[in-house]
Structure 1
Amino acid sequence: MAGSATLPVGAVATAPTAPTAWRCRWPLLPALLYMVVVTQAPFVFTVLYSFQSWNLVRPGSEHWVGLANYANVFTDNAFRSALLTEIEMTVLAVAFAMALGVPLAMLLDRRFPGRGVARTLLISPFLIMPTVSGLLWKTTMLDPVYGIVSYVLSWFGVPATDFVSRFPMASVVTVLVWQWTPFMMLIVLAGLQSQSGDVLEAARVDGAGPWTTFRWITLPHLRRYLELGVLLGAIYLVNTFDVIYMMTQGGPGTRTTNLPYYVYQRAFLGFDVGQASALGVVTVAGTIVVAAVALRLLFTVFSGTERSAG
């Protein structure tokens, strides 16, 4: 027929029909429905509650208030304080975890006796639940009477110190760094092991020392892995709640009250469902925006690297 396009025989034979494509997707439907029910349905109810004034200790107080809860969020000094605490805690934890993860990854990238045991020991903190990590550090490591840190410092004449009460932010960040350093280490180690051995050998032949090789060859190669570790670590650490709850309960004062813990306080201590829902929606929206921008930048870096390699 005139004007009709002729398709290659192979393309017609291998192209899946619509019913076949849907049959391939049917096994994934239960998992998709489960994810929608577990994650999206509660969020929809949270959005609906955010437009209402509802305090659980006052029966019958539920009524529609529109955007009033959101207006209160952006004029709430406690919210701004929790936001600053969130940023400070995340930046410190990610920076120190990455700073420790890089040298540990370089250590594990070399062959030495007992490397398998060392790798297992260094990864183990990441496998411990955050609640257990917070309780372990509070009672076993940082306790002023029975803690291992105070016991070791007493050898040097340092008096017993209640680190959790005197230095709450440093205590929480220490636990987060201890827990997330293995994650950063594994990402950097993957980058190191993907590096071309021929390039390193050529650098050694040309007389480049270890520091020069790391500065001009290894570090540029690790750039995208470092950015990936920082991005993923920040996304996870923004949701920190377990460690704060087990160690400081947001105190002293509001020193360690980040956004997830502040939402918990408004919902389960103040019983203000409407205000807590608005806080939760704003927090989720802000996290999505930051993650989307960071992912776009990361994909740009990866795409640019692949084009330059090609």
Structure 2
Amino acid sequence: MRWSRPSARETLRAADSDVAGLGATRAIAFVAPALLLIGVFLVFPALWTLYIGITNYQLTGPAAAQPRVVGLDNFVSALNDALFLNSVGLTALFVFGSAVIGQNVLGFVLAWLLRRVRPSLRRTVEAFVLLAWILPGPVVAYLWFAVLSRDGGTFGLLLNDPATAWLVEYPMVSLIVFNIWRGTAFSMLLYTSALAAVPPTQLETARLVGASGWQTVRDVVFPHIRGHVLTNTLLISLWTANDFTPFLLTAGGPNHRSEVLPVLIYRQALESGQLGYASAMSLLLLVGNLVIALVYLRLLRRRA
């Protein structure tokens, strides 16, 4: 039997179908560990939460041993629950005030101001901002609890008003300021990288024609970093909407005035034992996150 050399067309077809040259079996074996981890830690928990959300599953009692499928009752109850609607409003306020506005604006301002300062000063400021971001949540929450405490809190002493209980009288304002302080580092780093891509010649031209700082940002800088702004806003919005750290400061109080959705879900699941009801709330939160993500992705696609 004579060996025949493959034609050029067959060679190109084989290269197109298997660029790495692994073959189907080796390629599947190569990605199998990653697919297994995704299945175990993402797909299975999501499906399990979906199942629990349509049952009356509870932490204790008869429903814990033999849960009963209740369909969409949990979702209907959540949408008619005053506590859930209150948490949705507080979560929207928390995300908009601390992420969309606070972290976005402060992160950009820091990145913009640090462009032309001495390298030593820039590294010092960046180190302090990053320190707030990398510290564990319980540690940061304890520090802020000490700062805002009515009993000898640092903030009250600085304002000569030690009797004000900031976490009780202004819980959402305290949480918004806390989250801005803690999460601005990511926005600052992203905008620092984005500003490096703005052509210096355009900035110099704007300066020569007498453009103000705001005009330069609006007409020269923003068109170049619009995609970075949308990406940053998407990420910090999703992180903030799912942040559980507010529980460490206010536990949702007083009188549910700072009970954002992650806190409400935790209290319904572990304090009240209503695991099925809490899972339904989690799925509604997931749907909200998906809607926000789709809106941002549509804006990014329109920009492209």
* TM-score between both structures, scaled by the size of structure 1: 0.86
Aligned residues: 292
Distance 1:11 1:283, change over 3 A: same
- 1:164/1:248 contact within 8 Å kept: yes
Paired residue for 1:146, among 141, 146, 152?
Answer: 152
Alignment partner of 1:133 is 2:140: yes
Paired residue for 2:227, among 224, 227, 252?
Answer: 224
Distance 1:24 1:152, change over 3 A: same
Which residue in 1 is equivalent to 2:75? Answer: 70
Letter in 2 for 1:258: V
Distance 1:34 1:59, change over 3 A: same
Which residue in 1 is equivalent to 2:97? Answer: 92
- 2:153/2:162 contact within 8 Å kept: no
- 1:266/1:276 contact within 8 Å kept: yes
Deviation at 1:249, TM superposition (A): 0.6
Which residue in 2 is equivalent to 1:198? Answer: 201
- 2:59/2:269 contact within 8 Å kept: no
Letter in 2 for 1:273: L
Which residue in 2 is equivalent to 1:163? Answer: 166
Which residue in 1 is equivalent to 2:3? Answer: none
SS in 2 for 1:114: helix
Alignment partner of 1:281 is 2:286: no
Paired residue for 1:293, among 272, 291, 295?
Answer: 295
- 2:53/2:277 contact within 8 Å kept: yes
Alignment partner of 1:119 is 2:135: no
Letter in 2 for 1:38: F
Distance 1:32 1:199, change over 3 A: same
Deviation at 1:265, TM superposition (A): 1.3
Aligned CA RMSD, in angstroms, stands at 2.2
Deviation at 1:151, TM superposition (A): 2.0
Distance 1:207 1:91, change over 3 A: closer
**Cα distance in 2 for residues equivalent to 1:211 and 1:101:** 16
Deviations for 1:212-247, whole angstroms, at most 9, x for unmatched residues?
A: 323321233232222222111101101011x22111
- 2:269/2:275 contact within 8 Å kept: yes
Letter in 2 for 1:108: L
SS in 1 for 2:242: coil
Distance 1:9 1:248, change over 3 A: same
Distance 1:283 1:62, change over 3 A: same
Which residue in 1 is equivalent to 2:35? Answer: 32
Structure 1, 209-218 or 99-108: larger mean CA deviation: 209-218
Deviation at 1:9, TM superposition (A): 7.2
**Cα distance in 1 for residues equivalent to 2:28 and 2:205:** 49
Letter in 2 for 1:131: P
Structure 1, 191-200 or 292-301: larger mean CA deviation: 292-301
- Quote the sequence identity (%): 28
Which residue in 2 is equivalent to 1:307? Answer: none
**Cα distance in 2 for residues equivalent to 1:211 and 1:276:** 46
Q: Which runs of 5+ in 2 are unaligned?
A: 1-6
Deviations for 1:145-186, whole angstroms, at most 9, x for unmatched residues?
A: 2322122112xxx34321111111111111110111111111
Distance 1:145 1:230, change over 3 A: same
Deviations for 1:33-89, whole angstroms, at most 9, x for unmatched residues?
A: 112111221221221122222333322563222222222122212111111111011
